[in-house]
A and B are shown apart, each in its own frame.
Chain A
Amino acid sequence: MAESKSITQRKPLRIRVEPRLSEPPAWYPAAISFGALIIALILGGVLISLAGGDPILSYKHIAKASFGDIGVLSDTIVKATPIILAALACSVAFRMKLWNIGAEGQFIMGAFGASVIVLAPVLPAETSRWIFIPVMMMAGMAAGALWGFIPGYLKAKFNVNEIISTLMLNYVAVAWMNFWIFGVWTEGGFQMSPKFPQTAWLPRLLEYAKSIPAFRGLTTHLGLVIGIVAAVILWFIIFRSRWGYEIRLIGDNPQAAKYAGINITQNVIWVMMLSGALAGLGGMSEVTGVVHRLQTAPIAAGYGFTGIIVAWLAKLNPIVIIFVSILFGALILAGREIQPSGVPKMIQGIILVCLIASDFLLRYRIVISRGEE
């Protein structure tokens, strides 16, 4: 008899993948991401030992080099600040399924726009810092928004693929910045502009070391506050405002948005401009908070591209972006501590792949059963 046979003979375990029919509980995505991180670290450990290193020691070192004391924590945050703003820029465009790959160029243009205020000069060097900062913020955002407007307008009016146009505009932005720092604002023939006057610097924690000694040597600057405030405002725009509702609706189903009477072309332009403005703000924060002069290498350092990854890992949620950016800041910083390139970059890659792959578990579940019945 078939039935009695099945009891005596143990059948092999079967693993099946089934799509989830209901939403997993709220804690589940976080738990999955955490699990993915652990697995990535284990895999990275294997990699380190293959390279002849001691994984435990290396991880200890990485942790110490990025979160070990207040000094390196501050450095981590400085690295995270431009990533926050670039990722926010990407997230708002991606939310509407506009694939803005041009945060890098918009970031550069933002840095350029802020520099114009100092270098043109629009404001004299002895202007108060509290006038300089808002004016430079606006200039940076305007320049970034312009760089977002171009692909946005082309997309809305002529249906030009924004992936191509934003990507290409990145190169234009680099060339544009180079033209100015090579030719116009060159510092004695070097490929950089003169240093900004201190009044055009974002305030840093170390300035307050006199009253609070613990702040000595900390380079964390006002850009962090700008980033966090921008994230909170963006969260409100996306989830609580009328405009954000339209963005979410268009992103999820453009046909339904059209049906609900929403003007999609107009929104494409506005969202690209908002995205550009946020990236531009990131460029402004970096040039006035860290670099203090217009210079290609530290400005065009790929923050716009890192922003794409961070935005996805944070599932486009502005608040989560802050934390993911700090993780990335730590990875960048600690990586340099153990090796300039190579293994740390590989570990970064492993973490990325694991986090992205873990998304699969949010949509599918794995069922392990014995036998066929």
Chain B
Amino acid sequence: MTQQVSPAEQNYIVEMRGIVKRFPGVLANDHVDFKLAHGEIHGLLGENGAGKSTLMNVLAGMYRQESGTVFVNGVPRVFSSPRDAIKAGIGMIHQHFMLVPSQTVTENILLGLDEPRFIMNLPEYDSKVAGLGEKYGLKVDPRAKIWQLSVGEQQRVEILKMLYRGVNVLIMDEPTAVLAPQEIEGLFVTLRAMIAQGKSVIFISHKLQEVSAIADRVSVLRKGVATASGVPSKGVSRQELARLMVGRDVIFSLDKKPCQPGEIVLDVRDIYAENDKGLPALRGLSLNVRAGEIVGVAGVAGNGQSELSQVISGMRECKQGQVLLGGDTVSNHTTLYGIQHGMAYVPEDRTHVGSAPNLSITDNVIMKKYRKPPILKNGLLDMKAATKLANELKLAYDIIVPNVTTPVRLLSGGNLQRVILAREISGLPSFMVAVQPTRGLDVGAIEGVHRLLLTQREAGAAVLLVSEELEELLSLSDRVYVIYEGKIMGEIKVEGGESDEGLVDTIGQMMTGTPLDQIQKEGVPA
């Protein structure tokens, strides 16, 4: 085999040429070229299903391409497993961490290595790991068990694992999806430290602002085709990137009609609840939502948002206090009671709570309607009526599937969320609680979900929107509550427009535990 290394190629640590990867019925990568330079952070942008992860899985040895060649330092390489790729200095960190919860950080890092061979002299390795962590600014206790760590710390362990194996190219698949805002900043610091030490990073994301913040150069994939290859991120605007991703202009500001709040629909009064581990999750939380407004709940993940939505929907016990819906107490009633009182609930967990994966779209959309006509006829389910409903919803909510008998487990994230929203909204709810309705969706799908929420507001429904995306909350909500450790830190009116910049600062402080009245007393820092 002759090695043809042209001088120009030597600048690239990785070069992928004409990569084709096919899955049944899908051309995931269609002759994609990709070049990674030494010492850069390279953003790989694209909507869900654009083929970003596939391309990187080829590079990391998880998949084998049908055609095309991967060059590492100018030499063509074939990886038959991730182990091969790591040997060649390429490591990938997946969205779902692959760590053993009951073992320590050091044990996890050593897992699968040939050393130590027999006697586990852990303290020696502990100090090695600690030293490595210091070098790259990855602070984590080597003796801590994985289950004791936060998600951000677990991610650091995954990075350490790769660094310990001497990886020069680190691929990170949607690393920020699981992180809180502060942790994202920490991750960016780490990545910059790694670049300073001569490593290269590929940063897969579908979030434009993150990529423009961290990446030196950007490549964009759309439907398996590279629409941009290694353009400097400074020279390209977010609008341009968005167009490259979705193939059309994305409107960032939604045309929102002025808010006309009516009666109080949801009244949460001083509630207390516990989380799954029996620890207090909500401690005296109160809020209200009026008809015709969207009220946001901002906060770092794990401060009681999930428990709040579960208490409201009746899926979690309320220890103290009460939840009123249109004057009726719905807390500590059955879930059915809430449904019958016009409550819609878009749960955080689409696959485990919001849908029955092996049942068809039809079966999934009648979940809250099968107790009443027209679906229930003479005590039996009228499958004709159900199919008709499903087809109507499929059209109205733009659910892209060949037919409604498809089991929902085969749907993409965006399509599944549309099925859930279609079901919830078509029940004409007077109140809707939506938790992270756009998490993991691509730009086009997010826009669709936002429009649906605004339509609800205009139709006079009360909407409680729980989200970790501040931008989303500020563009949709009329008011925002900030939640911290199960308590409301304060309530902020969103006027829209220029004043939003200052709001982000205030909300940021509240999200880390400073109550609003304290911030106002001290005066907003300029």
Task: List A residues at the B interface (Cβ < 8 Å).
Answer: 1-2, 5, 18, 20-23, 236, 240-242, 244-245, 248-249, 252-253, 255-263, 365, 372-373
- A259-B335 contact given A2-B76, A22-B410, A245-B363, CB 8 Å threshold: yes
- Cα-based distance from A249 to B23 in the complex (angstroms): 30
Are B335 and A260 interface neighbours, CB within 8 A? yes
B383 within 8 A of A: yes
Are A261 and B363 interface neighbours, CB within 8 A? no
Chain B positions within 8 Å of A2 at CB level? 1, 69, 76
B522 CB to nearest A CB, Å: 43
Are A255 and B353 interface neighbours, CB within 8 A? yes
- A252-B380 contact given A242-B370, A259-B347, CB 8 Å threshold: no
Interface residues of B in 325-349 (CB under 8 A from A): 334-340, 345, 347, 349
Partner of A23, one of B334, B367, B406: B406
Among residues of A, the one whose C-beta sits closest to the C-beta of B371 is A242
Among residues of B, the one whose C-beta sits closest to the C-beta of A243 is B379
B180 within 8 A of A: no
B508 within 8 A of A: no
Number of interface residues of B (CB under 8 A): 47
B207 CB to nearest A CB, Å: 27
Are B64 and A372 interface neighbours, CB within 8 A? yes
Are B335 and A252 interface neighbours, CB within 8 A? no
Among residues of A, the one whose C-beta sits closest to the C-beta of B66 is A373
Question: What would be 10 A-B contacts, judged by CB atoms less than 8 Å apart?
Answer: A21-B24, A240-B381, A241-B380, A244-B381, A245-B363, A252-B358, A259-B347, A260-B368, A261-B334, A263-B334
Chain B positions within 8 Å of A240 at CB level? 380-381, 383
Are B371 and A253 interface neighbours, CB within 8 A? no
Interface residues of B in 1-45 (CB under 8 A from A): 1-2, 23-26
Are B410 and A242 interface neighbours, CB within 8 A? no
Are A248 and B363 interface neighbours, CB within 8 A? yes
B182 within 8 A of A: no
- Cα-based distance from A248 to B381 in the complex (angstroms): 13
Are A259 and B381 interface neighbours, CB within 8 A? no
Are A259 and B1 interface neighbours, CB within 8 A? no
B317 CB to nearest A CB, Å: 13
Chain B positions within 8 Å of A242 at CB level? 370-371, 376, 379-381
- Cα-based distance from A1 to B383 in the complex (angstroms): 62
Are B352 and A253 interface neighbours, CB within 8 A? yes
Partner of A249, one of B1, B334, B367: B367
Are A1 and B336 interface neighbours, CB within 8 A? no
Chain B positions within 8 Å of A5 at CB level? 1
Among residues of B, the one whose C-beta sits closest to the C-beta of A257 is B356
Chain B positions within 8 Å of A372 at CB level? 64, 78
Chain A positions within 8 Å of B26 at CB level? 21
- Cα-based distance from A256 to B359 in the complex (angstroms): 11
- Cα-based distance from A261 to B337 in the complex (angstroms): 8
- A245-B407 contact given A253-B356, A259-B354, CB 8 Å threshold: no
- Cα-based distance from A58 to B465 in the complex (angstroms): 70
B130 within 8 A of A: no
What 10 pairs across the A-B complex have the smallest Cβ distances? A261-B336, A252-B356, A261-B335, A260-B367, A253-B356, A255-B353, A21-B24, A261-B339, A256-B356, A252-B358
B444 within 8 A of A: no
Among residues of B, the one whose C-beta sits closest to the C-beta of A246 is B370
Partner of A241, one of B64, B347, B379: B379
- A258-B335 contact given A242-B371, A372-B78, CB 8 Å threshold: yes
Are A245 and B339 interface neighbours, CB within 8 A? no
Among residues of B, the one whose C-beta sits closest to the C-beta of A263 is B334
B250 within 8 A of A: no
Are A21 and B76 interface neighbours, CB within 8 A? no
- Cα-based distance from A256 to B416 in the complex (angstroms): 14
